[in-house]
Amino acid sequence: MNFDLTDEQRLLRDSVDRFGREHYDFPVWRARVLRGEGFDRGLWRRMAALGWLTLTVPEAQDGYGGSAIDTMVVMEGVGRALMLEPYVGCGVIAPALLPHLAPGGHSALLAEIMAGEAVLSLADAEPGARYDLVGVETRAEQQGDSYVLTGEKSHALDGAEADWFVVPARTAGAPGDAQGVSLFLVPKAAPGLAVHGLRAMDHRRNAALALDGVVVGADALIGARDGGYPLLRHAVDLAIVARLAEALGAMEAAYEQTLVYLKTRRQFGQVIGSFQALQHRAVDMAIACEEARSMTYLATLSLGAEPAERSRAIAAAKARVGQTSLFVARQAVQLHGGIGFSDELAIGHYLKRLTMIDMAFGNAAHHRALYAAQAA
């Protein structure tokens, strides 16, 4: 597959990689996560100043008006450096959803996000929904010019650090119906909203939400009432593809660090990389990385296709990248031996991050089932 980057995209890639090298030294990163801190707000504002949060914002909203390929370039660097910043929520989901806000008091929010001054989280999951975006039980009852939201969300992406939440709620129909899902913008400080921070195994600070009579105005509605699912599906597809690129960057970094270890670690009087069995395993890791890159490119290009084709390509890529990324990460840990399991080495953290990326928006098994159903 020929997938040449433009000159601007190559410059962007180099900028992201340089930023990662300069600001994500692993001992500093590890010390921060051991203190229980979230992402670095200062670094986040620097990312915003570099224009990363404007890449896919439409030009009409003062953004760059770029493509999913630009996002892919950034997310590979995010994965390589194990960045903790909430780029998917603010740099991918926010530009996809906030331009559809009803005219009113939240028109400045996208500008605040682009400046790194506000963080948006998508509350994408509910208890028992099993990755099903239409398994929405949270209700939104209209009362005059307002809506009253009641229900639970089991997962909100980077939600412990968020200032605003996009909350899918049902204004009609029953769980499982695509029609009747509406999207609402809810501030963290809204009365009746309880945010329970959850520290994931990869040190991300997600959240669970409890909504007990949360009142929002009609200007908090994103898109049409009862018609939020197509917008949600598109935003999640963009987020899935962004996560694939992050997985690609992380697994290639794990592979490269493993090669360095194989070339320097000595045992029985020689470097262990001279052992043929370990060379074969390294080759298998390289092949898995290339498979993941091809599938990530396929998914990225499919975002402009019609919905059925896009859905099949993304399901196939999510399933295969989930398999290959975990294979590479597990091989990396094993080839490092006992030290690969230690907290003091980055390799184990790549495995943790790739495990969480595999689970995000549906794991490999879930997407294999989706692909099979679509192919039937």
| pLDDT tens series, the chain, 376 aa | 567 899 999 999 999 999 999 999 999 899 988 888 888 999 999 999 999 999 999 888 889 999 999 999 999 999 999 999 999 999 999 999 999 997 766 778 999 999 999 999 999 999 989 899 999 999 999 999 999 999 999 999 999 999 999 999 999 999 999 999 999 999 999 999 999 999 999 999 999 999 999 999 999 999 999 999 999 999 999 999 999 999 999 999 999 999 999 999 988 889 998 899 999 999 999 999 999 999 999 999 999 999 899 999 999 999 999 999 999 999 999 999 988 888 889 999 999 999 999 999 999 999 999 999 987 6
| Residue among 366, 254, 376 at smallest CA distance from 314 | 366
Distance separating alpha carbons of residues 342 and 64, to the nearest angstrom: 42
Beta strand residue intervals within 231-369, DSSP E: 266-267, 270-271
- Percentages of the chain per state (helix, strand, coil), in multiples of 5: 55, 15, 30
Q: Which DSSP category does 104 fall into?
A: S
Residue 111, number of CB atoms within 10 A of its CB: 16
Please give the helix or strand (H or E) that residue 121 lies within, else none: strand 120-122
Instruction: Using a cut of 0.85, tell me whether the model's pTM lies above it.
Output: yes
Distance separating alpha carbons of residues 373 and 368, to the nearest angstrom: 9
Q: Which residue has the tokens 């200007």?
A: 219
Instruction: Specify which residues 48 forms β-bridges with.
Output: none
- In order of start, what are the domains of the chain with their CATH numbers? 7-114 (1.10.540.10), 120-227 (2.40.110.10), 230-375 (1.20.140.10)
| Residue among 264, 50, 228, 210 at smallest CA distance from 134 | 228
